[in-house]
Each structure stands twice: as structure tokens, then as C-alpha cells.
Amino acid sequence: MEKGKVVYKLEDDISTDIIYPGRFMATVLPTETPQFAFFDDSEFNQKLTQGQIPPGSFIVAGDNFGCGSSREQAASCIKGYEITVIARHFARIFLQNSINVGLRMIICPDIEADEGDELEIRDNKVWNLTSGESFAINPLPEARQAIIDAGGLIPFARQLLIERGI
């Protein structure tokens, strides 16, 4: 069970350039990318960089979240704040990049929530505790979820090697 507040509400077609502007592409280390998350929305970026957004918070978005370029930094910069993204649909490459870096994300085609709403994830649903409504989650395949749960592809592979004694 996961519980937190919606700290950012976004519409459809949020590109990787909005999430992580291209002018910062020279920065690739996951420890450095978070400072540029949503950089062009100075108010939200400032809340992130000043520690005003607690881990476990939610970003809620519409369809096609993470469209555009294949930059992995768009996923790693959000992961750096331990925020969960709930979207109606994720762009294919962003979805795979998010799995690879261990970004917690939830596909919820009918999600309805506003900034400030309290959400809870349980019973394969997103419960909007503010409105009293619940919305079904489209779960990721088990293998992909296992990679996210391990913290990303590298920790997942490391875990498998240890388990197999390699």
C-alpha cells in the first residue's frame, strides 16, 4: 500500500523536453539529473530542489506521458525524488527507460485527481481519498514490475547474479 498527495497535475502529451529540457543533456549522472526536473516550470522545479516535495508523492498525467526523445534523463530526474508517476498512458520509450532506472509508475487509464488530492494505491486500484472514487490500474507484466521493485535494471541484474552464485 502506498499513500501520498498529488503534487503536480499534467495534461496529455508531456514530452521528455518538458520533463528534462534538452539543453541539459550533457548531464547524465542520475545523481545530477534531478536538479533539472521540470526546469522550465520554475515554481515546481524550485519545490523539488528545495526539498518541499516529500518522497512518495504523486505526479498525475494524461495520455502519452514522456513522448518525444528517448532521453533516459527524463526518467532518472523524477526517480531522484522518489516520486510515483500515475498516467493514463506512457509513451513506449519513456516506459522502458522508467523500468530500466526503477521509476515507480502506474498506468491508470481513467485516473481523475487534482493537485492536493490524497491518493492511495491498493487492491490494484488508485483510490482518490479526497473524492472517494477509485480507478483500476493496468498492471505491468510481472517481469517488468520486478525490475522496478529491484530499483532498476542494474540492481535487478546484480540481484539475479547473487541469487545464482555468479
The pLDDT tens digits for 34-83 are 999 999 999 999 999 999 999 999 999 999 999 999 999 999 999 999 99
Sheet holding 58-61, edge to edge: 105-107, 84-87, 58-61, 2-9, 118-122, 125-128, 133-136
Range of the domain at 104: 2-163
pTM over 0.85: yes
CB 38 within 8 Å of CB 66: no
Say what the pLDDT of residue 30 is.
85
Pairing state between β 2-9 and 118-122 = antiparallel
- Domain of residue 157, CATH code: 3.20.19.10
Handedness of CA 96, 98, 104, 107 (dihedral sign): negative
Helix (H/G/I), strand (E/B), else coil: 103:
coil
Tally of CB atoms within 10 A around 95: 20
* CA angle at 72 for the pair 67 and 74, rounded to the nearest 5°: 60
Say what the pLDDT of residue 165 is.
85
Number of structural domains in the chain: 1
pLDDT mean over 2-9: 97
